[in-house]
Amino acid sequence: MTSLVRDLINTVRGAGDTSHSVDPHMQRVLDQLAELHGQAIENLDVPRARLQPSPTDAVAALLRADGKNSSPEALIPGVEAEDRSIPAAGATLSARIYTPPGNGPFPLIVYFHGGGWVIADKDTYDASARGLSAAAGAVVVSVDYRRAPEHHFPTAWNDAIAAYDWVAANAASLEGDPQRIALAGESAGGNLAVATAIAARNRGAHKALAVLAVYPIAQTGNTETESYDDSANAKPLNKAMIGWFLDKLITNPNDKADTRLDLINADLVGLPPVTIINAEIDPLRSDGEMLETALKEAGVEVTRKVYSGVTHEFFSMAAVLPKAQEAVQFAGDQLQRVFSGAVHTGAVHTGAVHTGSQPRGRLEPKDHAAAKIKVIGYAAKHSFSDLKPFDFEREAARADEIEIDVLFCGVCHSDIHQIKNEWHNTVYPCVPGHEVVGRVSRVGSAVTRHAVGDMVGVGCMIDSCRQCEPCLAGDENYCEGPNSWLATYNGPMIPAAKAAGGTNMYERDNTFGGYSSMLVVQEDFALKIPANLRPEVAAPILCAGVTTYSPLKHWGVKPGDRVGIIGFGGLGDMAAKLARAMGAEVTLFTTTKEKLAEAGRLGATAVLESDEDALAALHGKFDFMLSTIPQRHDINPYIALLKRDKTVCIVGALEPMESINNQGVAFHRKNIAGSFIGSLQDTQEVLDFCAQHDIGPDIELINIDQVNAAVKRAIDGEVRFRSVINMASIKPDPRNASVEDAAIFVTE
């Protein structure tokens, strides 16, 4: 904590009542509220607290008394409202979408209401959200996050991130511009807005452009601030109520120190511009002041305005309170200023999906004078070697490339095939790893998709020819260029020795993957990791996830379809989760009795492959089947389970299969197909899809020095979870193996 903030926190003014003079319009609302005879919330249980009259009710009563139309549409004409559902982890959230008059795409504001995380909802705060939509000319999405005590801390914070991500991913369907998203909230919701901006910055995906925090709760540890003192008994919010809210919210006093609640002690560096609005007569006024100071000290552009003579909740009273009109307009202007700036600078990065690599032809050759970066990796030097520390160099990013600090890398079964040279094409030394997640540490001068600090992923490919028909169609994973695509490790898919004319368009025979401290990659081949997808969980999605998602998508799996997944390892697990999230009815086929119960956990039914009666009962029942078995097997029993015209797709085995009896195929015009990883667009889609549906692989985090043991367990079939290496554990090789040492093994 900074000294300035500490001084503020320690400021305690003498006790006694406030000498603030109350704005006459404000006084009218307070008098009306008193006439509604609400009980003191801090003395009630939660159900009764939620039934108490709110300042919103007082405003409506005043309007009626004045003979005015109190309907939201009449008060703020032109803004249209529609309720939608937003998926969050384990819940569907209700949200109201406010669309301003005019033609989109509009900027977007994700708005969180107040109520101490316990009471109130989007209806209570309709006037605020609706008013912001008009004042900022933006689509406002007001979110009913889950409340305490039914859902304790930090459920609301997770819901807020999920909602924010959903808005970013669905901007187009909201008439919104995904490049221009701001966060806003009041009171408890003001906290959520700032906390969500921090989370978005941390994850690096679609950062917010601006934050509006109206009388935010910026901390809960210190209730001896100046405003807690001088507004201890203020209405409609007093000090005791805040204590009551907190009591419902947290289960452990240590939660108060969690920087999602304790914003003033959070890492605020790199946040977008923040506007804070405070009311003078409000126990939370000093929270706003402390947050302002903390933001300034973190170098964040911050504007704070304190409105005199008004109280907590004044922001939603524009219909009867001129100061509130002023404040809403000020907030709208602040946001519009940032939104209009963003149109010109385009400096914002979003989770927008790839639409295929750019058909712009090959790039300039590498500048061979380019700076070299020392990298620590783990490599196999022979087919019989364990993975060992290996120092090498990468060329620094050129104009269109980015440098990534690797944080996590999944251990894929192909890594093992490659280490052991089971596909007879391994180039040694072999630094595996094509499920790479990390943070962008540097960008080349021409990079537009990513910014320093973004959380990105790299899957199986780091380049393709960009000129062939599949590449131009966005099917880079089926590149028909002379060297096919450039694999993240082990060089081009078709090496010079096997390419027509002995060419190597990539100028590299070997590439080193993600079992290393950093990676340099052409920007189009890095994917955005959504903010609410844990980076370590995202890693295996980059290969196992897209390998199963791509065929499910290609063959149009839809709600109600009956889908069979053959094999229940890592691929089968992902396939079942994805197909379930797509709305399909899933049956898993496994050889392992112990896995039958696990299938139920995924919402699928399971059948033993050896259970002939069960298979017979399923003849002609399936709309699609996916075989994930990673070696040669007999597909004939599953062909029989397909409906007429339907397809069984094989993604696991990349080798000759048991022979097929074409009678079973021809008699009902069935299809046998294959599919190989997925395109850049598919990869981005599956990341976003997993984030949206809160699904992902079951993983175990390991340190890099445990990788050989993990490989052995995978070979022995003992792995229940996908191993993901925490690359923070990688250290320089004490023996300091040099690049020259490595060169000896290149010809193996």
* Count of residues that bind Zn ion according to CB under 5 A: 9
Residue 513 CB neighbour total at 10 angstroms: 28
Q: Does 543 bind Zn ion (CB under 5 A)?
A: yes
Continuous segment of H or E residues that includes residue 391: strand 388-395
Closest CB 720 distance from Zn ion, rounded Å: 18
Sequence-separated (6 or more) residues with CB below 8 Å from residue 617: none
Closest CB 472 distance from Zn ion, rounded Å: 8
CA distances to 459, 711, 715 from 429, in Å: 20, 17, 21
Within 465-504, which residues bind Zn ion (CB under 5 A)? 465, 468, 471, 479, 481
Look at residue 210 and give its three-state secondary structure.
strand
Closest CB 91 distance from Zn ion, rounded Å: 32
Closest CB 354 distance from Zn ion, rounded Å: 15
Sequence-separated (6 or more) residues with CB below 8 Å from residue 385: none
Closest CB 479 distance from Zn ion, rounded Å: 3
* C-beta of 423 vs 667, nearer to Zn ion: 423
* C-beta of 396 vs 468, nearer to Zn ion: 468
User: Would strands 722-726 and 486-487 be described as parallel, antiparallel, or unpaired?
Assistant: unpaired
Residue 305 CB neighbour total at 10 angstroms: 14
Within 156-215, which residues bind Zn ion (CB under 5 A)? none
Round to whole Å and give the CA distance between 640 and 663.
10
Q: Does 414 bind Zn ion (CB under 5 A)?
A: yes
Closest CB 520 distance from Zn ion, rounded Å: 20
* C-beta of 135 vs 471, nearer to Zn ion: 471
Interior angle at CA 192, CA 227 and CA 694, nearest 5:
160
* C-beta of 311 vs 464, nearer to Zn ion: 464
Round to whole Å and give the CA distance between 181 and 170.
12
Continuous segment of H or E residues that includes residue 294: helix 285-297
* C-beta of 286 vs 414, nearer to Zn ion: 414
Closest CB 73 distance from Zn ion, rounded Å: 54
Stretch that binds Zn ion, among 9-17, 44-52, 405-413, 658-666 (CB under 5 A): 405-413
Stretch that binds Zn ion, among 42-50, 120-128, 413-421, 422-430 (CB under 5 A): 413-421
* C-beta of 654 vs 660, nearer to Zn ion: 654
Q: Does 373 bind Zn ion (CB under 5 A)?
A: no
440 touches 204 (CB < 8 A):
yes
Task: List the one residue out of 130, 92, 99 whose CA is nearest residue 113.
Answer: 130
Sign of the torsion angle spanned by Cα atoms 228, 232, 235, 237:
positive
Within 687-746, which residues bind Zn ion (CB under 5 A)? none
* C-beta of 306 vs 468, nearer to Zn ion: 468
Q: Does 571 bind Zn ion (CB under 5 A)?
A: no
Sign of the torsion angle spanned by Cα atoms 520, 521, 522, 528:
negative
DSSP one-letter string for 256-293: GGSTTT-GGGS--TTPPPEEEEEEEESTTHHHHHHHHH
Stretch that binds Zn ion, among 183-191, 270-278, 333-341, 463-471 (CB under 5 A): 463-471
Question: Which amino acid, 225?
Answer: T
Stretch that binds Zn ion, among 3-11, 29-37, 63-71, 404-412 (CB under 5 A): 404-412
* C-beta of 192 vs 412, nearer to Zn ion: 412
520 touches 436 (CB < 8 A):
no
Closest CB 468 distance from Zn ion, rounded Å: 3
Of 181, 412, 542, 578, the one binding Zn ion by CB under 5 A: 412
* C-beta of 229 vs 463, nearer to Zn ion: 463
Question: Which amino acid, 399?
Answer: A
Closest CB 363 distance from Zn ion, rounded Å: 14
Closest CB 464 distance from Zn ion, rounded Å: 5
Binding site for Zn ion (CB under 5 A): 412, 414, 464-465, 468, 471, 479, 481, 543
